[in-house]
Structure 1
Amino acid sequence: MTKGLLKSKTFPMPNEITIQTNIPADIQTVWKLYTSPEHIIHWNFADPSWHCPSASIDLKKGGAYKARMEAKDGSFGFDFEAVIEEVKEPTRLVYILGDNRNVKVDLKETNQSTEVVVCFDAENENPLEMQREGWQSILNQFKTYVELKKTPQS
């Protein structure tokens, strides 16, 4: 039994991974920049060699969320797709990925900043730490983008 497990290339599911950041901006600004397609395309990638050429989101229960993620050199790309499960503007967004994994995004305003906490079910193809690093990198890109924007009118 153990021998078979050692040969497996997959990891048990579900494992929930939590990532977070603190952004020096008000919660309304953070919510807008996190949930608006015209902003998502500017931060939704883990590495500068990637980009997000298109995004759409229907912010209601049952609404669709889709973001195209591609390597800038055209070598690889995929559609990140989900169905919205819960929306509590500006504090909570929950969606379910195409493979039935849950993602919960919680925002909390604290002393002139907003804490963003993302909890997601790990997939079973890649090591947990690799997934954590990838999602954290995207969240870090988001933080940088918000810091550059900083105004609700942006």
Structure 2
Amino acid sequence: METHRITVKAMVKNEVERVWECWTHPEHITQWNFAADSWCCPRAENDLKVGGRYMARMEAKDGSFGFDFEAIYDEVVRHKKISYTMMDGRQATTTFENSGNGTLVTTVFDPEDQNPLEMQEGGWQAILNNFKTYVEG
């Protein structure tokens, strides 16, 4: 079976140190980590080291649905790269590239097999777009 990886990107108009801080600190994660305005991220935990655990609670604001997104870190290179394995074995890597326009944030991830690829790409891109808006705001 061939695995298709999905890539999402955003150019964030801020220095890599600030982008990294907003990506990795729980008090920031809860402000941007959702794909639509009808959702929220009421809680996040982040032990940012190899073998450390990441957890973010995502919920519909009306309480109709929610889930915990959890992963274990495989690689952490400060201000450059974060790789992790999700609880179902899928992997994701996010890179942070300093450029003249700000910081290019790129995430490449293994899709799950429950939803169409386009839906997954759209959801992850929407979260990344929320991140960009938050950091630039």
- TM-score, normalising length from structure 2? 0.98
Letter in 2 for 1:34: W
Alignment of 1:2-151 (within 5 A): 14-148=3-137
Task: Determine if contact 2:11/2:101 at 8 Å carries over to the other structure.
Answer: no
Distance (whole Å) between structure 1 residues aligned to residue 118 and residue 2 of structure 2:
14
Distance 1:105 1:86 in 2: 10
Deviation at 1:15, TM superposition (A): 1.7
Structure 1: any 5+ residue segments left out of the alignment? 1-11, 149-154
Question: The residue matched to 2:36 in structure 1 has which SS?
Answer: coil
CA distance in 1, matches of 2:131, 2:2: 27
Whole-Å separation in 1 of the counterparts to 2:99 and 2:123: 26
* Number of residue pairs matched by the alignment: 137
Give CA-to-partner distance per residue, 1:59-107, whole Å, 9 cap, x none. 1100000000000000000000000111000110001000000010000
Q: Which runs of 4+ in 1 moved over 6 A?
A: none
Query: 1:100-121: per-residue Cα shift (whole Å, max 9, x none)?
Result: 0001000000004000000000
SS in 2 for 1:80: strand
Provide the C-alpha distance between the structure 2 equivalents of 1:20 and 1:13, rounded to a whole number of angstroms. Answer: 23
The two structures have a TM-score, normalised by structure 1, of: 0.87
Q: Give the distance between the partners of 1:91 and 1:32, measured in 2 at CA.
A: 12
Q: Distance in 1 between matches of 2:93 and 2:2?
A: 17
Q: Which amino acid aligns with 2:126?
A: S
**Identical aligned residues as a percent:** 50
